[in-house]
Structure 1
Amino acid sequence: MSPLNSAFFKNITFDNIVKPDYFFISGLAGIPHTKYYHVFLCFVYALTLLGNAFVMFMIYTDHCLHSPKYIPVFNLAVSDLCGSTAIVPQMIDTFLFKSHLISFEACLADMFFAIWFVTMQSFTLTLLSYDRCVAICLPLRYNEIVTSKSMLVIIATLWIFAGIAILIAVIFISRLSFCKSTMIDSYFCDHGPIHLLACNDNTPSIVINWTHPIMILWFPVLFITGTYICIGRALLKIAAASERLKAMQTCTSHLILVSIFYLPLGFTAALGSAIHQNARILNMSLASILPSMVNPIIYSLKTEDFRESIKKFYRRNKRDITKE
């Protein structure tokens, strides 16, 4: 054990568990010219806060958007905003201000919230595909199936399920013994690199590390693919080309969001060890922050109801300014 690592450890004798005082997040430290990336992070974070806060404000204040299909959109904005807040400020503090040390307890909290919000982003995109599938495949029963109550129940269930699953993963990490290294080769307190540092039996964490990508990536992708197969079959049954095009356009914004979120994650996961470690860390960090910035822009530009709501908001404020 190096002198640096030995200084971080606090020997706790409960079940012979050795816990460090601090972890060292190395992540982007080996990537050149990261100061430019940190400036970019600040810009992305500012746009993420403004964009998602604006989406939440518009949905909350405009009664025309008080429909079941906009409940998951509101939830996506919440998870995007919270997810970026859980990751980006910590990254800026770690790599721009050279504060690479993070306490053991703070690292576990960072792990929980960062993974929780990213998981909810994935689940919400899956829920949006369900909404589009019902709207196109069962249009006559849409208002019966997709109600505000059902959407709220589904979203609450997803939040609770994701929270419990990730809490279990964090609890298993807290029971590991770290007597070798405290250097986390990631841009935040990532579950994968941390459990590999353990020097006692980490089998439960290995299983969790394999199952979590299935929960957050592969199952949602399969579900979304299934819904769009159903949507495609339903569109083929629509005789009028104009009606078919109109139905397809309602899916455009969601497909863009899905592509932006899942393609970088899937690409990095598929390459595995074939991709350079620095490239993997950079790709994963971009994949975890860019969708949160782009999502509100896509919905504002590509959703007709939302565009109309923005126009009404602009005209109303313009009239108020003119009166003054």
Structure 2
Amino acid sequence: MAVGNLALVDIVLSTSLVPGMIKTYIVLDNFVPFKLCLVQMYTYYTFLSLEPFSLCILSYDRFIAICFPLRQESINTNTRMAYIISAVWLFCIVIALYAVTSIPSLSFCGSLEVHSYFCDYAPVLVLACGDTRPQWNFVTALTILFITVPLIFIFLTYMGILTAVFRMKNNQSRYKALATCTEHFILVALFFIPIVIIFCFTFFGIIWNPTVGLVSLSFSSLITPCVNPILYSLKTKEIRNRIHSLLTQRLSVHPLKT
């Protein structure tokens, strides 16, 4: 259930951006109505906020599976996982709704050109006239919350996993336990590193090219959903065997020259 939840979040997250990118860069139509802009902003940030907590749920699932293998079925029941996932979804939906609904109350008296390839919250907020400090303070606090809490939780679960792995006497069991966490660790790194870079540069006022921020945000929003199915499909024995057979045939047809 944890993997399915992450897959759903990845699909909607990438879907909220890709059609707009095609419209902007291929169709060359960069006009977006204000209400549609808010819808895209809400959808994007709802599922962007769901992504780190979905990774937390997955790390919790791995923690229970490795540290309590005999009690996994009784601890991680479908009902309990459904409650956890529902609570996370409700929290993210409400938070994103509150943040986005604060935008229409602002007045826009200057340029309406958003310097981004989608209706990003910060570039839209910059265009507003008047006092926007409450919105900035709320978004900053929210960003810190959505970065630090999941990272701390994932770190603690991995400490528990490593402790359980080092207590195992069988090397094969150790390898199997670590192998189940490899793809999750890669996804965590791909998602959090670009976002942490963006936040640190912005929070500490370091001057840099805004294009770098867009690229970093795109990396977390689009690359991670693309890599996720590849990593988890490689766990399937049939797919691994098929890849191995294709590579073997390729090498037999074109042998390496020495």
Which TM bucket (shorter chain)? 0.7 to 0.9
Q: 2:26 aligned with 1:77, yes or no?
A: no
**Aligned-partner Cα distance in 1 for 2:239–2:146:** 32
- 1:120 is matched with 50
**Aligned-partner Cα distance in 2 for 1:127–1:168:** 24
Q: Which stretches in structure 2 are left out of the alignment for 5+ residues?
A: 242-258
Q: 2:63 aligned with 1:130, yes or no?
A: no
Pick 1 or 2: higher relative contact order, CA cutoff 8 A, min separation 6.
1
- 1:286 is matched with 219
- 1:316 is matched with none
**Aligned-partner Cα distance in 2 for 1:235–1:298:** 22
Distance 1:120 1:244, change over 3 A: same
- 2:99 is matched with 169
- 2:253 is matched with none
**Aligned-partner Cα distance in 2 for 1:298–1:176:** 43
Asked whether the 8 Å contact 1:265–1:284 carries over to 2, the reply is: yes
Query: What's the offset of the Cα at 1:275?
Result: 3.1
| Alignment equivalent of 1:155, drawn from 69, 79, 85 | 85
Alignment of 1:89-108 (within 5 A): 89-108=19-38
Alignment of 1:43-62 (within 5 A): none
What's the CA shift string for 1:117-152, capped at 9, x where partnerless?
122222111100011111122223221110111111
**Aligned-partner Cα distance in 2 for 1:75–1:255:** 17
Q: Secondary structure at the match of 1:185?
A: coil
Distance 1:267 1:81, change over 3 A: same
TM-score by length of 2: 0.86
Count of residue pairs brought into register by the alignment:
239
Alignment of 1:145-224 (within 5 A): 145-224=75-154
**Aligned-partner Cα distance in 2 for 1:254–1:285:** 20
**Aligned-partner Cα distance in 1 for 2:86–2:207:** 38
TM-score by length of 1: 0.69
Query: What's the offset of the Cα at 1:80?
Result: 1.1
**Aligned-partner Cα distance in 1 for 2:240–2:211:** 41
Q: Which stretches in structure 1 are left out of the alignment for 5+ residues?
A: 1-70, 312-324
Query: What's the offset of the Cα at 1:297?
Result: 0.5
Q: Secondary structure at the match of 1:184?
A: coil
Q: 2:88 aligned with 1:88, yes or no?
A: no
| Alignment equivalent of 1:241, drawn from 171, 189, 192 | 171
- 1:61 is matched with none
Asked whether the 8 Å contact 2:41–2:100 carries over to 1, the reply is: yes
Give the letter aligned to residue 45 of structure 2. Answer: I
**Aligned-partner Cα distance in 2 for 1:164–1:111:** 14
Asked whether the 8 Å contact 1:135–1:142 carries over to 2, the reply is: yes
Instruction: Give identity over the alignment, percent.
Output: 37
Q: Secondary structure at the match of 2:32?
A: strand
Query: What's the offset of the Cα at 1:310?
Result: 9.2
| Alignment equivalent of 1:298, drawn from 216, 219, 231 | 231
- 1:8 is matched with none
What's the CA shift string for 1:30-73, capped at 9, x where partnerless?
xxxxxxxxxxxxxxxxxxxxxxxxxxxxxxxxxxxxxxxxx111
Q: 2:196 aligned with 1:269, yes or no?
A: no
Asked whether the 8 Å contact 2:50–2:88 carries over to 1, the reply is: yes
**Aligned-partner Cα distance in 2 for 1:208–1:294:** 31
- 1:13 is matched with none
Asked whether the 8 Å contact 1:268–1:275 carries over to 2, the reply is: no
Asked whether the 8 Å contact 2:233–2:239 carries over to 1, the reply is: no
**Aligned-partner Cα distance in 2 for 1:107–1:310:** 42
Q: Which has the higher strand share?
A: 1
- 1:257 is matched with 187
Distance 1:160 1:307, change over 3 A: farther
Moved over 6 A (4+): none
**Aligned-partner Cα distance in 2 for 1:165–1:138:** 34
Question: Please, what is the CA RMSD of the aligned residues?
Answer: 2.0
Distance 1:309 1:298, change over 3 A: closer
